[in-house]
Homo-oligomer: A and B are copies of this chain.
Amino acid sequence: MKEFVEYILQFGNLNKQQIDLISKKGFELILHKDDYFSQAGKIARQVGFILEGITRVCYYNNKGEEITKYFIDENNLVVDIESFENEICSSAYVQAVTDCRLICFEKKDWQELLDTIIGWDTIVHKMIAKALIQKVERRSPLVSEDATERYMKFLKIYPNVANRVPLAYIASYLGITQSSLSRIRKNIR
């Protein structure tokens, strides 16, 4: 929980009492490798914060291929924000790629905190906006670069992910085949 408190205080100030209120609502959640945090076709009802482990967001394209849209690792928020906020069915899966330990909030508690704690909504807004901007910033450059450069960029962005997740996930994240990625890895070592 300490890590989460540190995280939120980056975005604004809260007093001890407010932090306690928030802490009380959060609970620890264990996800095993391959478990889903939220699923396509369902409404996301939880907000998480990763203490340990890696998750990914993925979906199936119109050819039935599984595409990893992005990875989320330690000390980051994990929530299918569009589904969570608008209570609409999600179009993606959020899945644990390794065993994970999270701080987790149920939607109704999260909402209660928003209604109770003055300034919390602003902090939440900033957290969400930052996470979304980060996703755009990370995903965009991939489009305009060749496969090797994409992989190099991936290594820079996710320095702690490369060796902990299957090659297939990274390949689909980069939009290349598994064999291409394998060859790229060979070339750069």
Contact = CB atoms under 8 A, between A and B. Distances in A.
A20 interface: no
* Interface residue SS majority, chain A: helix
B144 A81 contact: no
Copies of this protein in the complex: 2
A166 interface: no
A82 interface: yes
A69 B140 contact: yes
A165 B81 CA distance: 33
Contact of A140 (B122, B133, B139, B144): B139
A107 interface: no
Contacts of A133: 81-82, 132
A142 interface: yes
A82 B172 CA distance: 28
A12 to B, nearest CB: 13
17 contacts: A61-B141, A65-B144, A81-B129, A82-B133, A85-B126, A121-B122, A125-B129, A128-B129, A129-B129, A129-B132, A132-B133, A135-B136, A136-B139, A143-B143, A143-B174, A144-B172, A145-B175
7 tightest Cβ-Cβ pairs between the two chains A and B = A132-B132, A143-B175, A144-B175, A125-B125, A135-B136, A142-B143, A67-B144
